[in-house]
Amino acid sequence: MILLSAGRTAVVLAVTMMLAFALAPTAGRAADAAFQQWLQSLWPDAQKLGVSRATFEQAVRGLEPDLSLPDLVIPGRAQTPPRGQAEFVQTPAEYLREKTLASLAGQGRQLLEQHRTALQGIEQRFGVPGSVVLAIWGRETAFGTYKLPHDALRVLATQGYYGRRKDMFRNELLYAMKMMEDGVARSDMRASWGGALGLTQFLPSEFYKHGVDFDGDGKRDIWRSVPDALASAAQQLAAKGWQAGKHWAYEVKPPRGLDCTIADPDNLKPLRDWLAAGFVPAGGKRPAAADLNEPASLLQPAGLHGPSFLIMKNYYVIKDYNFSDLYVLFVGNVSDRIAGGGPFERAWDPVVQLRTKDLEEMQNHLAALGMYRDKIDGKAGMRTRLALGAYEKANGLSLDCWPDAAVLDHMRARASRR
């Protein structure tokens, strides 16, 4: 063992670091060069969308990937389960907090009065009630008080190069450039980690499909014009099939001893038939006559550990805006409250949300048994809860249609015996 003086040690360390830097693999620099090359390869497609070379250069100048974003696949980095959105990693009780719902509904009622003329015009033109688009605005950006944290171009470029849905985000990046070409200020290009912009969260391609100039100033402004942002949200819902004059869902009290495996989205029958079978509307609210013949299915987002809902076409239209049952329930309940309704009648039990990898394991067990044929995504969605309920019934377990650790342990033990 050779002992070095402090000064000599410092010199040796400095030389070692210099040699390490000089001899280090160039993977990082190569990856950066490849990213820049990929950006430049977008020019022909950007040009086809009408983007000028000057705008293109402004968009890509100094652009570097943000490797802190979720849902990336980076060579050489150990893969971890994607950091999901709150809609998919929180329990219903966590996501649908009464304090939050009540606060947004209160603000929404004030905004309903403030923007009454515009909202009446929006409903007349698109068939979507003002309370619904206000609830979407409240959920997406807390009525504009939540400031989107990311640079949209950087997000879209990162996801387009390293993300799990490269083609989609590449296309969105091109449309983001087109937005700049058409006059959107670079400073307005702020986004969520998924690249959505504006008060009601639009992807760039959706801005071109559904953006509306409702205030008549000659531009579609989803950043500062409340009428434009809300009309654009309504236009998107209308394009996805919103049925004017119809409700989205009704909370109901199910009959005693309900078999939760009938909460199947394919188990459709007219709303009146569900009511005749003993499902009682919450709060004594009588469904609108226009809804009674509408096809409906039963939804139990927490299995038997929370409220039950009879959901109809407009439920799925909102879900197409954001593909999450909890998102729809959030927007739907805030919308109902703005229009004069109240909180959920049945409380949410404090269930535990399994980790993504555990839910994926459960889905794989169910798939191997032929009980689950949907995507392995680590989310406790409708199909997963339905398959789980079938497993509980088949194995004589307590039936509640909610994925928990005890059922997963049962699956593991069963698999080990095979």
How high is the pLDDT of residue 5? 38
pLDDT given at position 359: 95
Read off the amino acid at residue 190: R
Domain ranges of the chain: 36-65+149-197, 84-140+212-350, 356-416
pLDDT at 153: 98
Q: Residue 23: its pLDDT value, please?
A: 40
- What pLDDT score was predicted for residue 75? 82
Q: What pLDDT was estimated at residue 13?
A: 38
Q: What is the pLDDT of residue 74?
A: 87
Distance CA 61, CA 348 (A): 49
Please check whether residue 115 is in contact with residue 121, taking contact to mean a CB–CB distance below 8 angstroms. no
**Which parts of the chain have pLDDT scores under 70?**
1-31, 77-89
pLDDT 10s digits, 310-346: 999 999 999 999 989 999 999 999 999 999 999 999 9
**CA of 232: how far to CAs of 95, 169, 172, in Å?**
26, 21, 18
Identify the CA nearest to 410 among candidates 185, 397, 401: 397
pLDDT at 135: 98
Rounded CA-CA distance 364/356 in Å is 12
pLDDT at 20: 39
- Say what the pLDDT of residue 78 is: 60
Of 307, 303, 326, the closest CA to residue 392 belongs to 303
Q: What's the rounded Cα separation, in Å, for the pair 138 and 233?
A: 12
Q: For residue 323, what pLDDT is reported?
A: 86
Topology annotation, domain 84-140+212-350: Lysozyme (1.10.530)
pTM: 0.88
pLDDT at 21: 38
- Number of Cβ atoms within 10 Å of the Cβ of 12: 11
**Type of residue found at 230:** L
- pLDDT score at 15: 40
What CATH number does the domain located at 356-416 have? 1.10.101
The pLDDT score that the predictor gives to residue 418 is 74
Answer whether 84-140+212-350 and 356-416 agree in fold: no
